[in-house]
Amino acid sequence: MGKIKVLPDEVACRIAAGEIVERPASVVKELVENSIDALSDHIRIELRGGGRRLIAVTDDGEGMKRDDALLALERHATSKIQSVEDLFSIETLGFRGEALPSIAAVSRLRLITKAKDEILGVRISVDGGILKGVEEIGCPQGTRIEVRDLFYNTPARLKFMKSKNTELSNIIDTVQREALCYPDIGFDLIHEGKVLLHFRGGVALEERLAEVFPGVELFPVVGEYDGVKIHGFMGKPDYTATTTHKLYIYVNRRPVRDRFLLRAVVDSYGRVIDKGKFPQGVLFLEVPPEEVDVNVHPTKTEVRFRHAELVRSSVLDSITQMLGCVPWITAKPAYEGKVEVLSFGNEFKPDKCLNKTPFYQKSYRVCDNKDFSFPSGKTLFKRDGFFSSLEIVGQLGGLYIVTASERGMVIIDQHAAHERVNFEKIKKSYVQGKLETQELLIPQLVEFSPGEAQLFIENKEYIESLGIAFEEFENGSFLIRRIPAVLPPEEVGKLIKDMLYEVELLGRGNGFEETMDRLFSTLACHASVRKGDELGREEIKAILKELDLTDFPHSCPHGRPVSIRISFEELSRMFKRT
């Protein structure tokens, strides 16, 4: 007798359940999406024990007839698709016909439902995948599904469950994720009798956003590229989180947690937020159904695009345009409670000016706001020379430029500001093929370890594209003969080693554009003023003027803030004048 055998249905159902039902939040997601597909106006989710003891989802949707309800508990029974071709034009959230039987296989499930034209509804009881009873009952139109004792018959899965609060947090995130995409539907989430979420139905997206993102300033993102439509609202770079839980992405109204799309959004902010931080907001992508495969993962949270690079560039371009139009960023002063009064002593150099000439050339773009619309009648910010209008007070500690505005004091990080200016000038010159170089009268010798030398050779394409000409010398050393004109010659050795570090840090598999951006920022860093550099008034004016003309004046290319603002009101509170 052979070793290979067909698995019993009970075992097959348990395996399928393991793929689809990972935790209580998975159950909530599947049941809520069924309710959405049933054209519900209101969905109520009740929980006990963080979803382990009870998950009950009630809707006022179309409901089901008796025979359909019984079939819904069979594997691969669905009303969403009928043929293979239908897989390429899916518009509903569910389509596999696996969710209900998978949930029923690992819980005690009760399904109560009634279709519109039926006199009576039906109640079906299933324990661990085994049908226990079917009876007619009186009930309103719609469906209620109760899932009790989740994983009661799979103790191994119970061991991997997180704490009640953790599971509850995941459920809250799941409900918010669904609610954001369907502001026309009302949602209630109740745990142990306490209302955790209450979303009214029939509202505009802006109202739903205000409930999910309280206190976060969001800006519209719009774009259309060869059939890929993008719209949504994203936060300013100073509204970041340490996880991606506040970054909601949808493809054809389907919530996804696709790493490809998450990376595209994060890369859009890559030069204006700190590493390890993630933007907040909601992004909707509309793609022709035949251009996207949603049948990639059992939980349907990942997708595959036929033209992935088009989608990625569409996301990058749309968000980049938005970031170029948002107001400049001001970080809050880093003080709380007790205020220490400082004496500046000799470090503060008010109005100390050297007669130096400005060292920048103009290049600027102003965002046109007419195509955007804002909630509450707001209009997009349009830069109008804010930094140029500031009154220069002086320099502080060889690090900061102190200025005054009509509303208070603005402190500018001189290196970060100059770095932003240089980054955009270098990138623009490179794109236009006008990156200026300088021949070194005396070639500089740069010595590498064997590993560095190999990395240097492997990345010859990137190094040379920045205008650096070199030749191999001996024992892992290289002669540098030509460098970018913006770079002081004494910075050559350190610049090249820093560039190699950035390339190695990125690793393989990154696009040419992303790698070049990293190298542009490294070059800009080495070409910019440093700590201790004294700046004359004309130099400061030049930096502020050029900063106004950049696309992202609020942060340096590495994501650090360029400026902070302290209002007169804040100063008055610090000095206890109010």
> Which pLDDT band holds residue 347 (cuts at 50, 70, 90)?
very low
Q: How far is CA 429 from the centre of its chain?
A: 29
What region, left, alpha or beta, does residue 337 occupy, with left being phi > 0 and alpha being psi -120 to 50 degrees? left
| In the predicted structure, residue 379 carries a pLDDT above the cut 60 | no
Identify the architecture of domain 341-578 in CATH.
2-Layer Sandwich (3.30)
DSSP-assigned letter for residue 64: -
pLDDT of 390 above 50: yes
CA distance to 118, 368, 470, 574, per residue, from 486 (Å): 78, 31, 18, 42
Summarised one tens digit per residue, pLDDT across range 121-178 is: 999 999 998 999 999 999 999 999 999 999 998 888 887 788 888 899 999 999 999 9
Query: Rounded distance, CA 281 to CA 504, Å?
Result: 31
Predicted confidence at residue 313, as pLDDT, reads: 87
- Cβ atoms of 110 and 125 within 8 Å: the answer is yes
Task: List, as one string, the DSSP characters of 291-325.
Answer: GEE-TTSTTS---EETTHHHHHHHHHHHHHHHHTT
Q: Give the model confidence (pLDDT) of 412-466 as tens digits.
A: 999 999 999 999 999 988 888 888 999 988 888 888 878 778 888 888 888 888 8
384-388 CB contacts, 8 Å cutoff, 24+ apart: 385/548, 386/328, 386/548, 387/328, 387/412, 387/544, 387/545, 387/547, 387/548, 387/553, 387/563, 388/541, 388/544, 388/545, 388/548
How is domain 9-201 classified at the CATH fold level?
Heat Shock Protein 90 (3.30.565)
pTM for the full model? 0.63
Q: DSSP H helical segments within 339-449, as ranges? A: 414-431
- CATH 3.30.565.10 domain range(s) in the chain: 9-201
Question: Does pLDDT of 375 surpass 60?
Answer: no
Q: Report the pLDDT averaged over residues 93-116.
A: 82
b/e sequence 217-241, b meaning 16+ C-beta within 10 Å: ebbbbebeeeebebbbbbbbbbbbe
Query: Residue 13 has what pLDDT?
Result: 54
pLDDT value of residue 362: 26
Residue 96's closest CA among 170, 177, 180, 33? 33
Backbone φ and ψ of 258, nearest 5°? -80, 125
- pLDDT exceeds 80 at position 365: no
Report domain 213-323's class: alpha beta
- According to the model, what pLDDT value does residue 327 have? 61
Structure tokens at 387: 């930094």
For 134, left (φ over 0), alpha (ψ -120 to 50), or beta?
A: beta
At 214, the pLDDT band (50, 70, 90 cuts) reads confident
Write the DSSP string, 482-517: EEETTS-GGGHHHHHHHHHHHHHHH-TT--HHHHHH
* Mean predicted lDDT score pLDDT of the chain: 80
Residue 442's closest CA among 388, 399, 490, 476?
490
547-578 per-position pLDDT tens digit = 998 888 888 887 788 988 888 998 898 888 87
Please give the average per-residue pLDDT across 233-254, as a whole number: 87
Is the pLDDT score of 374 beyond 60? Answer: no
Percent with pLDDT over 90 in the chain? 36
Segment 7-41, tens digit of pLDDT: 556 555 555 554 568 899 999 999 999 999 999 99
Looking at the chain, the domain(s) classified CATH 3.30.1370.100 span 341-578
* Span 53-97, pLDDT tens digits: 999 999 999 999 999 999 888 865 454 444 444 444 555 554 445
- Assess contact for 505 and 459: CB atoms under 8 A: no
pLDDT at 488 over 90: no
DSSP count for the chain of H helices, then E strands: 16, 25
- 284-309: pLDDT as tens digits: 999 988 888 876 655 667 788 888 88
Residue 177: CB atoms within 10 A of its CB come to 22
- Per the rule left: phi > 0, alpha: psi between -120 and 50, beta: everything else, 73 is alpha
